[in-house]
Structure 1
Amino acid sequence: MTGEPEEVGRETDAEVRTYIQRADLLDDLGHFAEAAEELRDALRLAPDNPEALATLGMVELRAGRAEQALVPARAALAVRADHLLGQAVCGYALVELERKAEAVDVARAMLDADPGSWLRQLHFAAIVRRVRNGQATLDAAWQAVRLAPDEAETHLVLAAVAGDLGLTDIARRAHAEAVRLDPRAADDTPPAVLRLRASRSGGRPAPDEADPAPAQPGVRRGLRSGVARFLAVGALYAWGAPLLVALTMLAGPTAARFVAGAVGLGGIVLFGAFRAHPPTGPVPVLRVLGRLDRPLAAACVGVLAAPPMMLVFAALGSPWPLGVLILLGAFAFAALVLRTDDLGRPGSGT
C-alpha cells in the first residue's frame, strides 16, 4: 500500500502532460482560448506544475495578452526559478509592457542559469534586442547559431539582431541559411521564438522537465490529413461491411452473422490502431477535435461506432444495425467532403 500515493502521483503527472500536449496542438492551430482552457484543466489537477503554468503564460502572450501572461509565468518561476519557458515568457511580456529594465534582468538570469543552452542564448538575444541591441545580443545570437547550427530559429534571430545593427551582409546570409533549413522561415519576421518548447534546450533538458511533445511544424496539415484518412477508411468500412454481409446471406444467416462478427472485430483492431498512432503524435485527437469542430468529431465517433454495429448484427441477426452502418458511412463521407478542408484554420471551430 505504500506505493499507492506514488502511483497516483504518476497518473496525475501523465494526465497533466496530456493536457499540455493538447494545449500545444491547439496553440499551434491558433485556438488560444481552447488551449488556455486545457491548461486550466491541468492546473486544477496540479496547481503548482511549472510547465503548465509557463505554457499558459505562453498561450496568453501569443494571444496578445501580455499582462495576463505574466501571472502564470511568474508563478512557474516561483516553483522553479530557472524554468526556461517561464523566464522567456516573463521576458517577452515585460518587453511588450515597456518594462524594459525588468525584461533585461529576466533575460540575464535566464542566460546565467545555463550559458551552454542554445535556447537560452536565443531567447536572451531575442528579448534584449528589443530593449537595447548591441554587442551582447550579437554575441548571444552567434552563440546560439554555434550551438545549434541546424535550427532555423537561431539563424532568424541572428538575422534580426544583425539587421538592427546595420550588419546587412550578416543579416542577409543568416536569413538565407534559415530559409534553406526551413522554407517557412521566409515568412517568420520577426522570428516566432515562442513556438519553441522550453524542454528542447539544445539536447540538454532539465532533469525534471518532461517534454510534452511540442506542436510540430505543419501540425495543421498533419491533423487534417490524419482525420481525412480516418474518415475515408471509416466511410469505406461502413458501406463495404454491410455489402459483404449481404453477399454472405446467400450462404445462410448463420454464415452472415459469423462474417459480421469477424468484420466487427477486425474493425475494432483497425480503428484502434488509428487511435493509438494518430499522425499528429500521441495526442488524444478526438478531444481536440471536440474543441475545434464538433460535427467532425461526431463523424469520427460515428466511425468508431461502426464495428460495434457489426457485432450487434452478429449477435441479433436483425438488419437494423446494417442500416445504421450505412447512415454512419454517409455521415463520415459528408464530413470528409465538407469539413476537413477547414480544419486547422484559426477560428474555424463551430
Structure 2
Amino acid sequence: MDADPKRTVAEHLQSAELLYELGQVPDARAEADAALRLDPLSPDANAMAAACALADNDPDEALVYAGAALAQIPGHRRAMITRGYALADAGRKDEAMQAAASLLDLDRTSWLHHVHYALITRRAGAAQPALDAAWNAVNIAPDQPRTHRVLAAIAEDLGMDDLAKRSRRAAAELDPGLAVEDNVHVMPPEARRVRRRLVDADKDDPRWREKLLGGGDDVPYWRRRTPFHGALGRSVLLGIAVVFAVPALLGSDMDSGVRLFFAVVAVAAWVGWFTVLRRHRRPE
C-alpha cells in the first residue's frame, strides 16, 4: 500500500489498529508500513509494525521494530509487550523473562500487564510465575472476563483441568456472549499468531484435492500419472528418505548389508524428491 498523501500517520495507524484487532494482519501491516513511509521514526508506527511482524511469526523483525519504538520512547507499552513476546518466540527465554518483569515495573496495578506477564513467561517456559501472574490479574480485575480466560489458558496448559473449567465458566458468566470452549479469540492480540500454511488449500476450495495430491485438468497427462506430483506425495518421499537415512547413518550395530540397503533406499528417495520438486512443482 502506497502512503496516501491525504492521510496522516494517525489515520493510517487507526486503520491498522482496527485491522489488527480483527486479525487481518497483512492489511494492518500495509497500513503500518504506509505510516512509516510518512514518519519512519514514529514510535507508534514502529510498534504497530512490530506487532504485525510478531503475529506473522517473525519475532526477529518484530524485535527490530520494537527496538526502534523503544529508542524513541523507552516506556512505550505496546513496544515493550511485543518485545517480550518476540523474545519468547525467538527462544531467548531469560531476556523474555526480564522483558515481562519490566512490564510489572512499569505498572503493577494494571491487570493487562499481569496478563501479558503471565503469557510471556509461560511462552518462555516458566510455569509458576505465569500461574501466579494470571491469578494476580484475576484478583485485580475479577469482573474482567479476559483475566479469567487467560487464567484458564495457563491452567489448561499446565494440566490443571478443573481450574481451567472453573475459570472458563467464570468468564462465560461475566460475558455470556463468549463461547465456553473458545480461548483463541479472547487472548490479547499480541498472543495470537497467524497459522502457517504449507499448502494454500482451504477446506472449501474445490481444487483442494489436486493442490494436495497433484493432478488436475490443467496438468499434462504424463504429469498427472506421477504419484508424487502433489504436496502430500512429495512429503511422503521426503519422509521415506529421512526414515531410511537415520539407521543407515547411525545404525552401527546393524549388518553392513542392511545398512547399505537402507542407504540405497534413502538416496533413491532423496533423488526422487529432488527430481519431482524440480520438474513437477508448480505454485500451490
Q: TM-score scaled to structure 1, two decimals?
A: 0.48
Which moves more between the two structures, 113-122 or 60-69?
60-69
* AA aligned opposite 1:183: L
CA RMSD in angstroms comes to 2.4
Aligned to 2:189: 194
Contact 2:41 2:69 in 1 (8 A): yes
Matched, 1:96 2:96: no
Q: Which runs of 5+ in 1 are unaligned?
A: 1-11, 197-350
Q: Structure 2 vs 1, CA of residues 187 and 34 (structure 1 numbering), >3 Å: closer, same or farther? A: same
Aligned to 1:71: 64
Q: CA separation in 1, counterparts of 2:117 and 2:30?
A: 29
Q: CA separation in 1, counterparts of 2:71 and 2:129?
A: 27
Task: Trace 1:40-51 onto structure 2 (pairs within 5 A).
Answer: 40-51=33-44
Aligned to 2:54: 61
Matched, 1:80 2:36: no
Aligned to 1:34: 27
Deviations 1:51-92 (A, max 9, x none): 221111111111222222111111111112222211111111
Deviation at 1:106, TM superposition (A): 0.7
Q: CA separation in 2, counterparts of 1:52 and 1:60?
A: 12
What percent of counterpart residues are identical? 40
Deviation at 1:23, TM superposition (A): 0.8
Contact 1:114 1:120 in 2 (8 A): yes
* AA aligned opposite 2:131: L
Runs of 4 or more, structure 1, over 6 Å off, are none
Q: CA separation in 1, counterparts of 2:141 and 2:42?
A: 28
Task: Trace 1:296-307 onto structure 2 (pairs within 5 A).
Answer: none
SS of the equivalent of 1:41 reads helix
Which moves more between the two structures, 105-114 or 162-171?
162-171
Deviation at 1:96, TM superposition (A): 1.4
Q: TM-score scaled to structure 2, two decimals?
A: 0.58
* AA aligned opposite 1:188: N
Aligned length: 184
Higher relative contact order (CA 8 A, sep 6+): 1
Q: Structure 2 vs 1, CA of residues 23 and 112 (structure 1 numbering), >3 Å: closer, same or farther? A: same
Q: Structure 2 vs 1, CA of residues 195 and 98 (structure 1 numbering), >3 Å: closer, same or farther? A: closer
* AA aligned opposite 2:153: A
Aligned to 2:178: 183
Q: Structure 2 vs 1, CA of residues 138 and 66 (structure 1 numbering), >3 Å: closer, same or farther? A: same
Q: CA separation in 2, counterparts of 1:76 and 1:48?
A: 8
Q: CA separation in 1, counterparts of 2:56 and 2:180?
A: 21
Deviation at 1:108, TM superposition (A): 0.9
Q: Structure 2 vs 1, CA of residues 30 and 189 (structure 1 numbering), >3 Å: closer, same or farther? A: closer
Which moves more between the two structures, 42-51 or 112-121?
42-51
More helix by proportion, 1 or 2? 1
Q: CA separation in 2, counterparts of 1:42 and 1:190?
A: 27
Deviation at 1:144, TM superposition (A): 1.1
